[in-house]
Structure 1
Amino acid sequence: MKMLLFLLMPVLAFGQMKLDKKTRLDADRFIGVDSYNNTYSVVNNALIKTSERDRWNYADFTLGSIAAVDIINPLRILVYYADFNIAVFLDNTLNEIERVNFNEIEDYLNIEAVRMANNNSVWVFNKDAQQLELYNYRSGKRSIISQPVKGNLIATASDFNFCHLLTDSEVITYNVYGSILRVFDNPGFTQIWTSTQRGLIALDERDVIYFTEAPERQFEPTESGSKIAVKDLQLTSEFLYIYDGEFVYSFRLTKL
């Protein structure tokens, strides 16, 4: 289990990080908290959504394991099943709206990663071509965003307008027009998360690294401080959530 070394003092664009609350969570994976303060997790391969008063769940065990969940739009939640190359869209009560079978589209699309984008589209990483694409599941139109990416894809992070690829050698940021906004060397990151207002966080085997979206800024390591084991993490405009396998720690982010 990785350890997070993080500083409860002003750190770059975060300003100050202050512990807001600590909540027990019994889950296999912590997905995150949406803009309506609902918590999402995966338990026994089922997606669970909980509020202060209600609990919803979604599962389709015929599709294999849940590979990824994207809650950036809480009214249209994306659940990706890599074993069958299928994306399922859910409404805000986790009822299925529709599904996209990438095996059945024209020019079969073998997906390694998929995330929400704008205008009925999703960011997809084409495993065969090693390219980032935008796929419109309404029109069936595919737009190639990147040239073939060197190295192995480790992780992706995105919002509606930008997608960040973490490979074993680089961190690359693209916009929806296919422009590369920035490229950084990967010194050993194992995961990345993003927030439009806050930038990127990258986790390595030793600590958490914070990156502000300003193009001139490099990744900057946090300094040593309180130690919390990191199993899952989420970054939003107001909070940094850290799940250690037992509790979710919510840190409020304030500007300097």
Structure 2
Amino acid sequence: MKYHLYLLCVFTLPIASQDIIKTTLKENKELFADAFVSTNNFDTTFYILENVLFKNSVDTKGIDIGYSNFQLGAITSVNTFNPLKINIFYKDFNTALILDNRLAEMFKIDFSTLPEYKNISHISTGSDNTLWIFNENTQQLELFDYKTNTTRAKTLPIQSPVLDVKSNYNYCWVLTKTHLYKYDYFGNLMIKTKNDAFESIAIDNEDVILKKGNTLSYLKKNTESILPISLPNLLINQFSVANQTLYLYAAETLYKYQLKIN
């Protein structure tokens, strides 16, 4: 009996070890912010303080540069996936702005003044001169060209309330209360996964990090298994991920963890 129990343990442990994503703390540093946005591979950090978007990077020689537009109200979201075309969204005024790498304005899109009025709740970066936008009037995700003010692609209506939208140049992920959707550049639905109470997401290439309360989970590209990420007990305010490096903002501290992906 003991022999059989020993064999069971031997063959079970390697399998169980694949059921959690381990992490290694690389560093942590103070960050005084109302909200952390992201840190990229070049250690450029974006954050929001007193409704101003700040950028801290090596090329600014330790001096944080900022962008503000108080007449548009509170900043709703910032997407820095393309550091040369950063988008910043002000939901109260239904307006998005495209900033360059020095946080100077390049384009302004007032969705209320378009020939076809769009009531936008979420935006994210697309390729070329496009944004992924969620139009609450039609309940559709659209790939919007902000230079020509035209829609290149749109999805079928999404019935469940949208919680988060993230993208890269080829795909867009929409987290709703009931499901996580992945769409291609043409608006075609690629993957639909049930949402188990997750609240927000971050994208690393085509892998997805999902947040639920103060826990994070990992969904690898082309799989359906959502694995928990091993982390200390932290009150996670915001997070981002880049090349399997996870950044967590908690209690005025920015933590940098390396994900151990098998």
TM-score by length of 2: 0.87
Q: Percent identity?
A: 26
Of 166, 169, 175, which residue of structure 2 is paired with 1:160?
A: 169
2:27 maps to 1:39: no
Question: 1:195: how far off?
Answer: 1.2
Of 227, 240, 245, which residue of structure 2 is paired with 1:239?
A: 245
Distance 1:204 1:13 in 2: 16
Are residues 11 and 196 of structure 1, via their aligned partners in 2, closer, same or farther at CA, if it must alter by over 3 Å? farther
Q: Within 5 A, what are the aligned runs for 1:202-217?
A: 202-205=210-213, 207-214=215-222, 216-217=223-224
1:138-163 deviation per Cα after TM superposition (whole angstroms, max 9, x unaligned): 12221342111011111112112111
Instruction: Tell me what 2:140 maps to.
Output: 131
Greater share of helix residues, 1 or 2? Answer: 2
Contact 1:13 1:255 in 2 (8 A): no
Q: CA RMSD in A?
A: 1.9
Are residues 81 and 222 of structure 1, via their aligned partners in 2, closer, same or farther at CA, if it must alter by over 3 Å? same
The structure, 1 or 2, with the larger RCO (C-alpha pairs under 8 Å, 6+ apart) is 1
Aligned residue type for 1:91: D
Distance 1:11 1:204 in 2: 21
2:209 maps to 1:190: no
Aligned residue type for 1:93: R
1:161-189 deviation per Cα after TM superposition (whole angstroms, max 9, x unaligned): 11111111111110111221111111111
- Secondary structure of the 1:151 match is coil
Aligned residue type for 1:112: S
5+ residue gaps, structure 1, are: 1-9
Of 172, 187, 198, which residue of structure 1 is paired with 2:181?
A: 172
Question: 1:222: how far off?
Answer: 3.5
Question: 1:206: how far off?
Answer: 5.5
Contact 2:91 2:120 in 1 (8 A): yes
Aligned residue type for 2:220: T
1:59-82 deviation per Cα after TM superposition (whole angstroms, max 9, x unaligned): 010000000101111111111111
- Secondary structure of the 1:189 match is coil
Largest Rg, 1 or 2: 2
Distance 1:179 1:159 in 2: 15
1:190-219 deviation per Cα after TM superposition (whole angstroms, max 9, x unaligned): 11111115x0011113621110012x3322
2:148 maps to 1:142: no
Of 246, 252, 256, which residue of structure 1 is paired with 2:258?
A: 252
**Number of equivalences:** 243
Distance 1:13 1:131 in 2: 35
Of 89, 92, 112, which residue of structure 2 is paired with 1:103?
A: 112
Question: 1:88: how far off?
Answer: 1.0
5+ residue gaps, structure 2, are: 1-16
Contact 1:34 1:74 in 2 (8 A): no
Of 4, 13, 30, which residue of structure 2 is paired with 1:24?
A: 30
Question: 1:220: how far off?
Answer: 2.3
Are residues 219 and 253 of structure 1, via their aligned partners in 2, closer, same or farther at CA, if it must alter by over 3 Å? closer
- Secondary structure of the 2:243 match is coil
Of 57, 65, 73, which residue of structure 2 is paired with 1:64?
A: 73
- Secondary structure of the 1:103 match is helix
Distance 1:76 1:23 in 2: 27
